[in-house]
Amino acid sequence: MAVSADFAVVLAGGKISVEARPIEGETPMQFAERFVADPRTAGQILGLPGQPSLGRSVVVPYPLLADDVKLAAIRALFPADVRATAGWLHIAVTEESLSAIAEWFTGRAGLAAALAKENGLAGDSASRGTTVRIPTEHLLRPFRDADALDETEPPQLSYGEDEKGRFALYRLRKKEALYSAVVVRFTGRVHAADVIELANAIAVRSGVDDVHAIPVGFPIRIPLDLLSEEYLPPDDPRAQALARERAETAQFALPAQAKGLSGVRIVVDAGHGGRDTGTIHGGIWEATYVYDVAARLRKILVEQTQAEVVLTTRDSGKGWKVVEKDRLPSSKSQSLLTNPLYDLSDPVVGVNLRWYLANSLLKRPGPAKKRISPERTVFISIHADSLHPSLRGAMVYVPGERFLRERYGKRGAPFASFKEWREQPVVSFNRRDRVASEGASTALAGKIVASMRRSGLAVHPFSPVRTHVIRAGREWVPAVLRYNQIPNRVLLEIANLGNDEDRALVLTRRFRQQVAEAAAAGLMEYFGAVGRRPPT
């Protein structure tokens, strides 16, 4: 099973191995380190027959792989497997021994007998097509966490074709509305104008007269070209491209380990600020409240971890002090901490200067002049959404590899007056940078989303982690992530200010504190550190 030109997974003689080679821009050591959990065993991979180099593959046995890479391999090899609430449902593709299955999913071949008992299987193998359930408590960590990015109950879609072309067919269930249950879920659109436009188009296509009175069970037809990739039929080329992209980027979902976030730099970017208010709903400025979440996140990280915390903006009045009030006064006194300071008078210039600032930070030494590796640097931009009012909860954007360019730079005024621009006016990314940042950022986003869910915070019900924005017929990665070189970078939308319930929550300091704590816990978990206390 070839995942990409550089990565293939092989099942032969009942054993899994991965055949891989360094990708463009990657040294043999970097290559070795992304496959193993413990950097000390990276040497073992370098010593494998063939010795990895650009253009030359090595075969890595499954047990040597880091757990996240194991998950990527299993996903590629067994696309029909399902992570269900009750555990992992593995469908045997050939006659498979239970001890091999136990080894693949739990890391302990000795659990074979337990699996046989659990699944009512006689003997020590599963024949082709048998479903073997591996209970959640035995699963390797990444397999256990795998559901965090998926829906708990996958919706039932079927596919058909009529004179207007191919479509996916969905039957509305009780209490489901066309806007949220169909358009938002299956097309990925979240902005109000897009949702309304597509709902009308889909209603017409399906022969619906009144979108507010669609009977339960009514067959809704969604044209395939409007469908999000994850819902396409498996034989569609776009679906196959997505499966390959996921498997390839997942190889990089392997963060550096850092106890207590020691040696880690976290760049916290409060969206907008100064004269840029961000979205405004009912007199509430996005900038005011996301700045408060950023200040709270800074405080938690400074007090509870050893991370170096760097904010991109600062309020000249209250500084980064956390104000213990629910409703906050609107303030335009934040500036971007470039050299010289920028008053954020032009939002577009502000966004571009943020990534110039991030790229400059990447080169600055840490405390005590120590170098901080890019792998231990995080950029987290905090925003609040303005979406269709039916939507609630948080969402995280990561830089989708397909949407990144190789080179980019702004020219001349007003950028030339900033030190950060003069240091590196043009930024470039090789393929490894792009693939690795999507993989690492997706893993980080997954930890933040899982942490928010554990704290009982609302998370967008469908695809809370997204590789790009879809709006008004265009697709893109937010600029603050797109040209940013920090490998672990996410944009967290804490809530939808267009939704009344979400907006009321944003106006409470309790909610803002919970979001900050959940984000901090997600960061700690990403680097393998255990938080001092669970988020309250």
CB 198 to Zn ion: min, Å: 23
Compare residues 271 and 531 and give the one whose CB is closer to Zn ion.
271
Which residues lie across from 395 on neighbouring strands? 493
Report the residue number, 265 or 383, with the smaller CB distance to Zn ion.
383
Binding region for Zn ion (CB under 5 A) out of 139-147, 273-281, 483-491, 521-529: 273-281
Q: How far is the CB of 383 from Zn ion (least distance, A)?
A: 3
Q: How is residue 447 written in tokens?
A: 């930890």
We find the least distance from the C-beta atom of residue 185 to Zn ion, in angstroms, to be 23
Provide, rounded to whole angstroms, the least separation between the CB of residue 372 and Zn ion.
27
25 in Cβ contact with 433 (< 8 Å): yes
Query: Would you call the peptide bond into 39 cis, given omega within 30 degrees of 0 as the criterion?
Result: no
Residue 366 gets the label, from left (phi > 0), alpha (psi -120 to 50) or beta, of: beta
131-139, 270-278, 406-414, 506-514 -> range binding Zn ion (CB under 5 A): 270-278
Which region among 65-73, 244-252, 276-284, 343-351 touches Zn ion (by CB under 5 A)? 276-284
The one-letter amino acid at 42: A
Please list, residue by residue across 482-518, b when 16 or more beta carbons sit within 10 angstroms of its beta carbon and e when fewer do. Answer: bbbbbbbbbbbbbbbbbbeebbebbeebebbbbbbbb
Q: How far is the CB of 427 from Zn ion (least distance, A)?
A: 22
The residue among 52 and 274 lying less far from Zn ion, judged by its C-beta, is 274
Task: Select 16 or 465, whichever has its Cβ closest to Zn ion.
Answer: 465
**Between residues 167 and 285, which has the closer beta carbon with respect to Zn ion?**
285
User: SS3 for 457?
Assistant: coil
C-alpha distance from residue 9 to each of 30, 36, 51, 131, 244 (Å): 20, 16, 18, 21, 12
- Minimum CB–partner distance for residue 478 and Zn ion (Å): 9
**CA neighbor of 525 nearest in space, from 253, 268, 311, 309:** 253
Which amino acid does the sequence have at 52?
P
Alpha carbon 397 to chain centroid distance?
Answer: 6
CB of 482 to Zn ion, least distance (A): 15
Residue 463 CA to residue 229 CA, distance in Å, equals: 11
Q: Nearer Cβ to Zn ion, position 60 or 270?
A: 270
What does the alpha-carbon distance between residue 497 and residue 388 come to, in Å, rounded to a whole number?
10
Binding window for Zn ion (CB under 5 A); candidates: 104-112, 275-283, 411-419, 423-431: 275-283
Choose one: 12-20, 41-49, 267-275, 309-317; the region binding Zn ion (CB under 5 A).
Answer: 267-275
Stretch touching Zn ion by CB under 5 A, among 108-116, 131-139, 269-277, 355-363:
269-277
Residue numbers 382-401 binding Zn ion by CB under 5 A: 383
**Would you say 507 and 284 are in contact if contact means Cβ atoms under 8 Å apart?**
yes
How many residues form the binding site for Zn ion (CB under 5 A)? 3
Question: Which residues, at least 6 apart from 171, have a Cβ–Cβ distance to it below 8 Å?
Answer: 156, 216, 217, 218, 219, 220
Residue with tokens 């390959």: 244
Token couple for 126: 């599963």
Q: Which of 28, 271, 273, 487 binds Zn ion (CB under 5 A)?
A: 271
Do the strands 308-311 and 265-270 form a parallel or antiparallel pair, or are they unpaired? parallel
Distinct helix (H) and strand (E) counts, the chain: 16, 26
Which CB, 17 or 288, lies closer to Zn ion?
288
Phi–psi pair at 162, nearest 5 degrees: -130, -170
Binding span for Zn ion by CB under 5 A among 278-286, 322-330, 352-360, 388-396: 278-286
Q: Which of 278, 350, 389, 535 touches Zn ion (CB under 5 A)?
A: 278
Stretch of residues binding Zn ion (CB under 5 A), selected from 11-19, 272-280, 340-348, 374-382: 272-280
Nearer to Zn ion, 52 or 278 (CB): 278
Residue 281 or 383: the one with the smaller Cβ distance to Zn ion is: 383
What is the distance between the alpha carbons of residues 144 and 7, in angstroms, rounded to a whole number? 24
**Type of residue at 300:** I
Q: Name which of residues 412 to 431 contact Zn ion (CB under 5 A).
A: none
478 binds Zn ion (CB under 5 A): no
HEC assignment per residue over 160-192 = EEECCEEEEEEECCCCCCHHHHHHHHHHCCCCH
Scanning residues 344 to 383, which ones bind Zn ion (CB under 5 A)?
383
Q: How far is the CB of 385 from Zn ion (least distance, A)?
A: 8
* Cβ at position 297, least distance to Zn ion in Å: 16
Cβ closest to Zn ion, residue 99 vs residue 334: 334
Q: How far is the CB of 409 from Zn ion (least distance, A)?
A: 24
Q: In terms of CB distance, is 393 or 535 closer to Zn ion? A: 393
- Residue nearer to Zn ion on the CB measure, 278 or 350: 278
Residue nearest to Zn ion (CB): 383
3-state secondary structure 382-445: EEEECCCCCCCCEEEECCCHHHCCCEEECCCCCHHHCHHHHHCCEEECCHHHHHHHHHHHHHHH
- At closest approach, how far in Å is the CB of 472 from Zn ion? 17
Q: Minimum distance from CB of 506 to Zn ion (Å)?
A: 13
Least distance from C-beta 170 to Zn ion, angstroms?
A: 32
Q: Which is nearer to Zn ion, 443 or 516 (CB)?
A: 516
- Judged by CB under 5 A, the stretch of 21-29, 119-127, 264-272, 453-461 that binds Zn ion is 264-272
Name the site residues for Zn ion (rule: CB under 5 A).
271, 278, 383
